């Protein structure tokens, strides 16, 4: 084998190592960007809307999505180049983070729906009770 062939193999090996490191770094960044369990469980607020808004903030996923996208991008490049000897651990970690991200997005959508529905419900209940109070006051005055 020629010297340039050895150099190419060495360069490819280095590139494969760097690609794997990039995937691992982005996966670590995605894990770090995930909310902590206490951030979605322990909330402090004076009312339901405050709880929902705090939860919605805790469920923000933009940074997780960005890191996961970069991890998948570099993983795909490495896979297509057949640069990994064993990348099952990377694929498994990508899948685990994708699953959690899907759950976060689903819960976030539900929280957003509740955060917009609760004030409407509160308004309807206030109107209903105010009308009932007015009706009761009118009946009491008329007797």
- pLDDT (tens digit per residue) in 24-37: 999 999 999 999 99
| Whole-number CA gyration radius for the chain | 27
Helix (H) or strand (E) holding 131: helix 88-142
Banded pLDDT at 1 (limits 50, 70, 90): very low
Mean pLDDT of 121-136: 91
- Report the Cα 67 to chain-centroid distance in Å: 11
The tokens describing 121, both together, are 């419900």
As a whole number, mean pLDDT of residues 57-72 equals 95
């Amino acid at each position: 084998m020629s010297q340039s062939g050895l150099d190419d193999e060495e360069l490819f090996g280095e590139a494969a190592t760097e690609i794997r490191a990039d995937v691992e770094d982005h996966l670590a960044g995605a894990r770090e960007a995930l909310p902590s369990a206490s951030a979605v469980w322990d909330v402090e607020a004076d009312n339901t809307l405050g709880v929902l808004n705090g939860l919605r903030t805790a469920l923000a996923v933009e940074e997780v999505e960005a890191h996961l996208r970069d991890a998948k991008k570099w993983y795909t490049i490495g896979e297509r180049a057949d640069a990994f000897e064993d990348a099952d651990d990377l694929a498994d970690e990508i899948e685990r983070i994708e699953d959690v991200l899907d759950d976060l997005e689903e819960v976030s959508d539900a929280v957003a729906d509740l955060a917009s529905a609760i004030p409407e419900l509160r308004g309807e209940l206030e109107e209903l009770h105010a009308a009932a109070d007015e009706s009761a006051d009118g009946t009491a005055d008329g007797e």
